[in-house]
Amino acid sequence: MSRTIRTFEATIPNQQQVRDDLDQLGWAASKLWNVGRYYTQEQWDETGEIPDDGELKAELKSHERYTDLHSQSSQRVLEELAEAFNGWFGKRRNGDDRARPPGYRKNGDSHPRSTVSFKAAGFKHDAQFTRVRLSKGRNLKEHRSDFILCEYQTRPDVDLTEWDIQQVRAVYKRDEWRLQFVCRTTIDPEPPGEEVAGVDLGICNFAAVSFGGKSVLYPGGALKEDEYYFTKKKAKCDDSSSREATRLDWKRTGRRTHFLHALSKAIVEECVERSVGSLVVGNLGGIRENDETGGSRNWGDHGNLDLHGWAFDRFTTLLDYKAEAEGINVELVSERDTSKSCSACGHTDDNQRVERGLYVCEECDTVANADVNGAENIRQKVLPSLATDGGDRDNGWLAQPAVHLFDRSEGVFAPREQVVNREP
Ligand SMILES: [Zn+2]
């Protein structure tokens, strides 16, 4: 187990609404820095000693500038100042005469916007609506609302709900405010086991997962409903570049991303539960080809196709990222023939038509859910062959999917035969 600390940067979509408030905090942080800088100079001149952050906080906590910010934010400003002075003092002691003490924060007649840090008591994270509430100091609360409500947008593959947010920082960068989330998590890089699971992506069932002997379907209905809702809403906008239309687009993207995060998380959790070390995902290249076969993937209009192309790409990225954190390897394989072959007997029927989501094998009479059949075929593409008869695909081991068991003597998962053979 290793503790990991990472910082994720996010943009603020409602920049216009919050920038004045953030400006005030940023300027307040610079003013407090200068107050502390001045105090430190005085102490240095009088005693030849630099006050530590504890002294700075004790001396300045009743200063007017201190209460412009949340107390923890003010503390952080003074801690940074003390760190900067210590750094300079250390260099100086080591004979570096050119080292300069930290300066005042001035930009002509005005103050630059300093970074403002918010520790646990100073922020509240609202994961559902992807926003964060930042506390102001007592002085600034009098004029406006008590807090600043910032929407945020991280990179799409970042899911903050998986991290323990230690600190939020408001940073002024390239003429705009951004948020930095300093997060912590524990990552166990050992794979949960040696099982292999197959994932088939589709329209009706966004994902079908075969664990070999057990399968799970994940319908995509919620995603489709969202799509329908936002398309309708947007059609009512007069201008597709209007503020309202932009807002709808942003919201739609957020909802899609949330759905995909939730789905990938559920599948990875199921894999961890089932000792899966390898997750095989059918490559999307085949989806368009299958579009005309009239199977479960006949998704009609092009809007859907675009959505799903986008969603599948994003989903695969998220799945990969979440699986990696659990030590699970994700592999993409071609989907070729996975909807036309019987996963029980390997029989391939080019004319196979899916009726009511069922796959019926004319060779061995197996009846399977079409998506599960596809997922099992995908899964089988990377399973080691256990056949002793030369690996005849049609009559051999495909009829009996391999099962991996926990091998107590080795402490790992292994094919059932190996485990059974080892037993006395
Ligand atoms: Zn069959």
373 Cα–ligand 1 center, Å:
10
10 close to 176: Cβ distance less than 8 angstroms: no
Distance CA 328, CA 69 (A): 44
The predicted structure's pLDDT at residue 169:
97
Single-letter amino acid, residue 134: L
417 Cα–ligand 1 center, Å:
24
Segment 32-78, tens digit of pLDDT = 999 999 999 999 899 888 898 999 999 999 998 999 999 999 999 99
* Banded model confidence at residue 143, pLDDT cuts 50, 70, 90: low
Mean pLDDT of 168-172: 96
Pick the most confident of 37-46, 211-220, 282-291.
37-46
Domains delineated in the chain: 2-187 (no CATH), 195-418 (3.30.420.140)
Q: Residue 303 pLDDT more than 70?
A: no
28 Cα–ligand 1 center, Å:
73
Q: Residue 355 pLDDT more than 60?
A: yes
339 Cα–ligand 1 center, Å:
12
Pick the most confident of 37-46, 224-233, 285-294, 399-408.
37-46
Mean pLDDT of 212-238: 82
Segment 73-130, tens digit of pLDDT = 999 999 999 999 888 888 887 788 788 889 999 877 788 899 999 998 899 999 888 9
139 Cα–ligand 1 center, Å:
75
Distance CA 343, CA 377 (A): 5
* Banded model confidence at residue 285, pLDDT cuts 50, 70, 90: low
342 Cα–ligand 1 center, Å:
5
345 Cα–ligand 1 center, Å:
4
367 Cα–ligand 1 center, Å:
8
* Banded model confidence at residue 142, pLDDT cuts 50, 70, 90: low
The predicted structure's pLDDT at residue 40:
93
Average pLDDT, the chain: 79
375 Cα–ligand 1 center, Å:
15
362 Cα–ligand 1 center, Å:
7
298 Cα–ligand 1 center, Å:
23
3-class SS string, the chain: CEEEEEEEEEECCCHHHHHHHHHHHHHHHHHHHHHHHHHHHHHHHHHCCCCCHHHHHHHHCCCHHHHHECHHHHHHHHHHHHHHHHHHHHHHHCCCCCCCCCCCCCECCECCCCCEEECHHHEEEECCCCEEEEEECHHHHCCCCCEEEEECECCCCCCHHHCEEEEEEEEEECCEEEEEEEEEEEECCCCCCCEEEEEEECCCEEEEEECCCCEEEEECHHHHHHHHHHHHHHHCCCCCCCHHHHHHHHHHHHHHHHHHHHHHHHHHHHHHHCCEEEEEEECCHHHHHHHHCCCCCCCCCHHHHHHHHHHHHHHHHHHHHHHHHCCCEEEEECCCCCCCECCCCCCECCCCCCECCEEECCCCCCEEEHHHHHHHHHHHCCCCCCCCCCCCCCCCHHHCCCCEEEECCCCEEEEHHHHHHHCC
